[in-house]
Amino acid sequence: MTNSPERTSPSADFAIPADGTTLRPRRTRLPPALALLRPHQWVKNAFVAAPLFFTPGALSLGNILLIVAGVLSFCLIASAVYVLNDFVDRHADRMHPVKRSRPIASGAVSPAMAAVLLAGALTAGMALAFGLDLAFGVLAAVYFVINMAYSFGLKHISIVDVMCITLGFILRVMAGAALIGVEPSVWIIACTGLVALFLALAKRRDDLVRSLGGQHRKSLDGYTKPFLDTAIAVVLGALLVNYMMYTTDASVAGSVGSERLYLTVPFVIAGILRYLQIMLVEERSGAPTTIMLTDRFMIVSVGLWALSFAGLVYL
C-alpha cells in the first residue's frame, strides 16, 4: 500500500492529502502546555509597536523598551484568551476531526492545568500592563473583556464575530499609542481596522470553502461566499483608498518628514493581490498568521514595504 502525496495547508493545523478525502492533525513539536498558549500567534501583537514605527519623533531607547514590554504584556494576555477559548470549546472540539487534537480537547493538558495557565498568563500580563501605564492597562483589560465575551458567545453571531476581531487589533494600536504618549493618526486606526477586518472575512471564507458550516461555527450560517467576496472587495477598496490618502496627506508628510510615502503603495498593492491569490486561487486563507510567516511572496512584500517606509521616514 502506498501513501498518497500530501500538500500542507498553512491555513489550519492539519495536512490535506492530494485527493482531498481525509484530514488528519499535523504534528507539533511544542510541548502541549506551550502549544496551548499559541506562541505562533504572538506576531499579531506587533501592532502594539505600530504607533512608534509611524511616529519617528517619538523614537527613543526608553520608548522602545516600553513598547517591548507592552508587546510582551499583550502576548501574555492573548495567550490567556487562547487558553480560555480552547477551554470553553473543549467539548465541541472533541467532535471535530482536526480540533480534537488540541491540547485540552485531546487530554494532553487537563482542564485544571489549563486553568492554572490561564490565571498565570492573565495575572502576569495584566500586572505588567498596569505597571507600565494606567491607560495602557485599561485598554489591555478592555481587550481581554471583549475577547472573553467573544469566547462565550459573540463568536457565534455573524458580522459581530469579525467586528470583535477587528476591534482587538485597533485596541492594540491604541494601547501602544497610549504607552508612548502619542495620538494615533486616524489613517493608521482606519488602516489597522480594515486590514484586520479583511483577514477575518478571509478566514470565514476559508471556513466555507472547507464546508465547515454552522456545525463548526454558528456564525457561518450567516455567511455565503458571494456575500464574503463582496464584503472583502469593499473592505480592500476602502483600505487602499485610506492608505493612499495617508501617504499623500500634507499633515502626515509634515509629521514624518517625507512627502514620498506614496512610493510604498506598490508594495501594499502587491501584498493585497498575493493574499487575494491565496484566498481565491489557492483557497488556503484560513490562518493569516501562518501565511504571513511562511509565504515568501508575502514576506518579501511586507519586508520591502517596511524597509521603504523606514528608509523614507528615518533616513
| List of the chain residues with pLDDT < 50 | 1-27
pLDDT digits (tens, 9 = 90+) for 261-300: 999 999 999 999 999 999 889 887 767 888 888 899 999 9
Q: pTM of the predicted model, to two decimals?
A: 0.85
Asked if residue 67 lies in contact with residue 48, where contact means CB atoms within 8 angstroms, the answer is: yes
Report helix angle 160-180 to 134-152, nearest 10.
Answer: 170
| CA-based max dimension of the chain | 68
Query: How many other CB atoms are there within 10 angstroms of residue 31's CB atom?
Result: 11
* Cα 60 from Cα 53, distance rounded (Å): 11
Under 8 Å between Cβ of 227 and 201: no
Q: Give the per-residue pLDDT at 168.
A: 96
Q: What is the pLDDT of residue 104?
A: 86
Dihedral sign for Cα 210, 215, 217, 222, please: positive
The per-residue pLDDT of the chain, averaged, comes to: 86
